[in-house]
Amino acid sequence: MEKPGNAPRVLVIHGPNLNMLGKREPEVYGTITLDDINKGLIRTAEKSGLSVESFQSNHEGVIVEKIQEAVDNYNGLIINPGALTHYSISIRDALLLLGDTPVIEIHLSNIYKREPFRHKSMVADVAVGQISGFGAFGYTLALEAMANIIT
């Protein structure tokens, strides 16, 4: 495993309402909290030789600014844009700023089994791939996929 200082850096962005995981529609999203997910990401990163940082915001512009900061500062980006997935052209445009830096889109729920307005993703074709429907385990899958791409 690489020394932490040299490990490729991955940023994980959680969008609106994901801070409420555990309380939010548990029948859809499960009972795991965002803190549990972030701790799991750190464990997976250690096993995969990555360094990971997590960030959550309920505000579209704040997320756009965080993606802009990621340009040239991270080796990969994993994003669950929450509801912004379905309509945010500004998140999509910000992701395009990342150029060759790989982006993985993740959703806890299977967005294609839900309401028709969730079937459209503004970011799917900007991402290397999408993970949708595996609950919190999807974050482990996403980080392992990212490790496979960048290490």
CA count, 13 A, side-chain hemisphere, 103: 23
CB nearer ligand DQA, residue 92 or residue 107: 107
74 assigned to active site: no
- Can residue 107 be called a binding residue for ligand DQA (CB under 6 A)? yes
Structure tokens at 59: 């505000």
Give residues 78-97 in contact with ligand DQA (rule: CB under 6 A). Answer: 80, 82-83, 85
> Which of the residues 29, 59, 74, 119 is marked catalytic?
29
| Strands across the sheet containing 9-14 | 51-56, 9-14, 76-80, 103-107, 129-132
Rounded to a whole number of angstroms, the distance between the first and last alpha carbons of the chain is 10
- Can residue 21 be called a binding residue for ligand DQA (CB under 6 A)? no
119 assigned to active site: no
- Can residue 58 be called a binding residue for ligand DQA (CB under 6 A)? no
**Which amino acid type is present at position 49?**
G
Judging by beta carbons within 10 Å of its beta carbon (0-12, 13-18, 19+), is residue 135 exposed, middle or buried?
middle
Q: Which stretch binds ligand DQA (CB under 6 A): 5-13, 76-84, 94-102, 139-147?
A: 76-84
* Residues in contact with ligand DQA by the rule CB under 6 A: 17, 80, 82-83, 85, 107-109, 111, 118
